[in-house]
């Protein structure tokens, strides 16, 4: 029997998640980003990453209506990218700032692909720095998901998202 999957969100079937942009403007930077629904029913995380004025990151996040993913082994993203390296982020609380669990992935240019991100590979961090004494990610408490672009990847960016699922091996 194949792996069991459950859609967290797609961009075709309501209810749609409400994505909020959180960019380096919180520190005086000039980057901008947003997540929009395309006419083809895909999510598009796009914008411009600027390194001016201490800038350097652009991100979006959304609160989840369901928070307990016990029994699943990770997240699977169906994406098409622009050749940049992105971070997928999970938060185990409802706070604006605080501990985040992150995992990076490459988004090849103009090719749809599935990216599996096992829960065990998510690294705890706070404001870009790894937190070595944080507890491991608890799949029973995932309240927010998000995408981030950073690492001095200046310029315009575009990541298309077909859907985000949880999977069992």
CA–chain centroid gap for 72, Å, is 18
pLDDT confidence of residue 2: 55
**Mean local confidence (pLDDT), 103-131:** 94
- In angstroms and rounded to an integer, the radius of gyration of the C-alpha atoms of the chain is 15
8 A C-beta contact, residue 133 and residue 96:
no
Domains and CATH numbers, the chain: 5-16+61-167 (2.60.120.430)
pLDDT confidence of residue 129: 87
* DSSP H helix total and E strand total for the chain: 0, 13
Structure tokens at 49: 């990453």
pLDDT confidence of residue 98: 87
- Residues 22-64 pLDDT 10s: 999 988 899 999 999 998 999 999 999 999 998 899 999 999 9
């Amino acid at each position: 029997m194949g792996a069991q999957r459950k859609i967290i969100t797609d961009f075709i079937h309501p209810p749609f998640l409400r994505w909020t942009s959180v960019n380096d403007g919180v520190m005086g930077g000039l980057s901008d980003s947003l997540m929009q629904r395309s006419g083809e029913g895909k999510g598009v995380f796009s914008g411009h990453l600027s390194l001016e004025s201490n800038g350097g990151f652009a991100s979006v996040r959304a609160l989840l209506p369901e928070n307990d993913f016990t029994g699943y082994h990770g997240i699977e993203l169906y994406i098409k990218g622009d050749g940049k390296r992105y971070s997928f982020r999970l938060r185990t609380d409802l706070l604006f700032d605080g501990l985040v669990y992150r995992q990076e992935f490459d988004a090849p240019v103009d090719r749809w692909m599935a990216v599996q991100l096992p829960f065990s590979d998510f690294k705890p961090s706070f404001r870009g720095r790894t937190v070595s004494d944080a507890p491991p990610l608890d799949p029973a408490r995932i309240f927010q998901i998000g995408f981030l672009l950073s690492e001095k990847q200046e310029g315009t960016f575009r990541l298309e998202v077909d859907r985000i699922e949880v999977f069992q091996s």
